[in-house]
C-alpha cells in the first residue's frame, strides 16, 4: 500500500501521490454547460484531501450533438475557458493536479439533449437501451469532430489544466468507432482496426498541433463493450490500440469498459468481497504488459 503514497509522473505532470480521482459524471454543471460553484466546492474538497490527480467529469466538444446528459460540462466554445480556469486554480491551491476529460456522445444521446436533432454515430445501429437509431455521420462531420477535439484540448491548456484526457470508453463516440458492433462502416473510417481507430490518430495529431509535444494527453480506453463474442470489441484489438496510442504520443492510458446498452458493466452492483473489485484489472494488466507508458 505504501506505493500509493509515493510521487508519480505522467508525462510532464508531477503528482504528489498515486491517488487519482477518475472522471465521474456529477450532474453539477450549470444548465448551459459552464462550471458551477458546486463543482468548484467539490473539486476543492477533493484536492484539499490530498488527491494527487483529479480528472474532471467529461466535457463535450461539439454542440449540440456531442452532449450526453443534462448539466454536463461543455468545452465547445471559448466562453467555457474561464470556468475551467477557476477549477484549475482551486485544485492547484491545494497541491493537486487537474486533467480535463473531453468527449462526444455520438449515438449515446437523445433529441431532448441535442435540440431536437437525431443523435449521430459511426453507423445507424439502434441503441437498445433507448430504441433510438442514430444517423450515420458524414465524412465532413467526422473531420469537424476531429477539429472540435483539438480545439477543446487547446482550451483545456489555455484554462491552466495540467493535461487533457480523451474519452474513448463507455460507449461514447470514439468507443463507438473502435467497436465493430457500433462501427459497421465500409469506408476509410470502418472495417479493419486501422480504419476504426483512424479517427483517434487524426485527433491526437491535431491535438498535438494545438497543445504542443509536452502537454499531457491521456486516453480513457474501453477494454470491452460489455458483451462478448464475435462482432464485439476484442481484448486483442484493445491491446493493439493501446500500442498505437503510445506510438502516436499519448501520455497514459486508463482502462475501463462497457456502454449504456451493457447496463451493469461500467458500475457493477453486488460487490461484496475485495476480490470482486477491480473488474477491469485483468484487462489493464494485459494492456500494461504491452506498453511502456502509465
Residues annotated as part of the active site:
172
Which residues on adjacent β-strands are paired with residue 55? 99
Buried b (16+ CB within 10 A) or exposed e, 44-68: bebbeeebbbbbbbbbbbbebbbbb
The alpha carbons of the chain give a radius of gyration, in whole angstroms, of 18
Count of C-beta atoms within a 10 Å radius of residue 6? 11
Q: Cβ of 271: how many Cβ atoms within 10 Å?
A: 12
- Sign of dihedral through CA atoms 108, 110, 114, 119? positive
**Dihedral sign of CA atoms 46, 60, 265, 263 in order:** positive
Q: Which three cell numbers stand for residue 181?
A: 458492433
Cβ distance 254 to 288 under 8 Å?
A: no
Query: Using CA atoms, how far apart are residues 208 and 145, in angstroms rounded to an integer?
Result: 16
Amino acid at each position: 500500500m505504501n506505493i500509493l503514497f509515493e510521487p508519480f509522473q505522467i508525462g510532464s505532470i508531477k503528482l504528489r501521490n498515486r491517488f487519482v480521482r477518475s472522471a465521474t459524471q456529477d450532474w453539477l454543471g450549470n444548465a448551459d454547460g459552464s462550471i458551477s460553484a458546486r463543482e468548484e466546492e467539490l473539486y476543492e474538497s477533493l484536492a484539499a484531501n490530498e488527491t494527487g490527480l483529479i480528472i474532471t467529469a467529461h466535457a463535450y466538444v461539439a454542440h449540440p450533438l456531442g452532449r450526453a446528459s443534462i448539466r454536463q460540462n461543455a468545452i465547445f466554445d471559448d466562453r467555457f475557458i474561464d470556468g475551467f480556469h477557476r477549477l484549475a486554480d482551486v485544485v492547484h491551491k491545494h497541491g493537486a493536479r487537474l486533467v480535463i476529460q473531453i468527449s462526444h456522445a455520438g449515438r449515446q444521446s437523445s433529441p431532448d439533449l441535442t435540440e431536437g436533432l437525431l443523435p449521430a454515430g459511426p453507423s445507424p445501429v439502434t441503441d437498445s437501451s433507448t430504441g433510438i437509431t442514430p444517423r450515420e455521420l458524414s465524412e465532413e462531420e467526422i473531420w469537424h469532430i476531429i477539429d472540435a477535439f483539438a480545439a477543446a484540448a487547446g482550451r483545456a491548456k489555455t484554462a491552466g489544466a495540467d493535461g487533457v484526457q480523451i474519452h474513448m470508453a463507455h460507449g461514447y463516440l470514439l468507443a463507438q468507432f473502435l467497436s465493430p458492433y457500433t462501427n459497421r462502416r465500409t469506408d476509410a473510417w470502418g472495417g479493419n482496426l486501422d480504419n476504426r481507430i483512424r479517427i483517434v490518430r487524426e485527433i491526437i495529431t491535431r491535438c498535438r498541433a494545438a497543445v504542443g509535444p509536452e502537454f499531457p494527453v491521456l486516453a480513457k480506453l474501453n477494454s470491452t463493450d460489455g458483451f462478448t463474442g464475435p462482432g464485439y470489441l476484442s481484448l486483442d484489438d484493445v491491446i493493439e490500440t493501446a500500442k498505437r496510442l503510445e506510438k502516436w504520443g499519448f501520455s497514459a492510458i486508463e482502462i475501463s469498459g462497457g456502454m449504456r446498452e451493457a447496463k451493469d458493466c461500467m458500475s457493477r452492483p453486488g460487490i461484496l468481497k475485495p476480490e470482486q473489485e477491480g473488474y477491469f484489472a485483468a484487462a489493464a494488466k494485459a494492456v500494461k504488459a504491452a506498453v511502456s507508458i502509465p
